[in-house]
């Protein structure tokens, strides 16, 4: 046993790192079983929906206990009404009602095309405090033919029946002035019921664009 101990010790650096020489064909061959490897951080596309002059985009299936994290990617979201704002709400009854109580924060950075204005501000008029209203994710998108919004929203552990439901959103879009506006929204759905559906829409009028829903392993 002393010889084995000394041999093993000779293959460890003073900082405790195994030297490559300690792992060879002979040592691997002597292993009789391996623990199952679990890949983490993988994105699994669950659903994709594309709106064309639609009132809303809703995901009423696929949000369950399979994943602890869900990500919704917004691709070229375009309002049919100038100055409309993109918003969302959650449901605990598979989409019969979108009225989860939320407390949130909202701030944005902006820079105009003429390079005459730039700022970073908190928007108290667009945060929520224990409200069932839809949460806005931006400020007044331009509806010019080339304007749109893109970004994502992350929803954490929506199937928990113990904890509230946290979310984070980051979007960038062409403001109606026009500005490039980068908006951050975060908060939680103040419910211990499982969230199993989510709806996205404009504050006014219809929308175009694609939303992808991913589960994160």
Q: Where along the chain do its domains lie?
A: 43-216
pLDDT surpassing 70 at residue 197: yes
Cβ-in-10-Å burial (0-12, 13-18, 19+) of 188 comes to middle
- Mean pLDDT, rounded, of the chain: 89
More confident residue, 5 or 139: 139
CA 26 from centroid of its chain's CA atoms:
46
Q: For a pLDDT cut of 70, what percent of the chain falls above it?
A: 81
Residue found under tokens 């970073």: 120
Instruction: Report the pLDDT value the prediction gives residue 177, as an integer from 0 to 100.
Output: 79
Candidate CATH numbers 1.25.40, 1.10.150, 1.10.1060, 2.60.120; the one for domain 43-216: 2.60.120
pTM: 0.81
CA distances from 155 to 63, 159, 181 (A): 10, 10, 22
Residue 73 and residue 49 in contact, taking contact as beta carbons nearer than 8 Å: no
| Nearest-10 Cα torsion for 124, 128, 134, 135 | 60
Half-sphere exposure of 84 (CA within 13 A, CB side): 23
Instruction: Report the pLDDT value the prediction gives residue 182, as an integer from 0 to 100.
Output: 97
Residues 100-114: pLDDT tens digits? 999 999 999 999 999
Helix (H, G, I), strand (E, B) or coil at 125: helix
pLDDT band of residue 136 (cuts 50, 70, 90) is very high
CA 173 from centroid of its chain's CA atoms:
17
Instruction: Report the pLDDT value the prediction gives residue 176, as an integer from 0 to 100.
Output: 72
Instruction: Report the pLDDT value the prediction gives residue 175, as an integer from 0 to 100.
Output: 83
Tell me how far apart the alpha carbons of residues 61 and 79 are, in angstroms, rounded to a whole number. 25
Instruction: Report the pLDDT value the prediction gives residue 193, as an integer from 0 to 100.
Output: 98
């Amino acid at each position: 046993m002393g010889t084995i101990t000394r041999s093993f010790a000779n293959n460890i650096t003073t900082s405790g790192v195994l030297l490559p020489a300690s792992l060879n064909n002979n040592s691997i061959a002597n292993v009789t079983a391996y623990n199952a490897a679990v890949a983490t951080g993988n994105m699994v596309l669950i659903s994709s929906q594309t709106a064309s002059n639609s009132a809303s985009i809703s995901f009423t299936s696929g949000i369950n206990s399979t994943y602890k994290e869900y990500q919704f990617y917004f691709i070229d979201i375009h309002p049919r009404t100038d100055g409309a704002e993109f918003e969302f709400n959650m449901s605990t009854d598979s989409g019969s009602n979108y009225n989860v109580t939320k407390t949130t924060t909202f701030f944005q950075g902006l820079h105009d095309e003429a390079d005459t204005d730039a700022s970073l501000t908190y928007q108290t008029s667009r945060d929520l405090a224990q409200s069932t209203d839809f949460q806005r994710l931006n400020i007044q998108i331009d509806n010019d033919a080339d304007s749109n919004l893109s970004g994502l929203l992350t929803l954490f552990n929506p199937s928990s029946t113990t904890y509230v439901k946290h979310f984070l959103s980051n979007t960038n879009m062409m403001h109606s002035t026009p500005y490039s506006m980068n908006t951050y929204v975060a908060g939680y759905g103040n419910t211990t019921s499982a969230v199993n559906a989510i709806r996205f829409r404009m504050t006014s009028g219809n929308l175009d664009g694609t939303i992808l829903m991913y589960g994160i392993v």
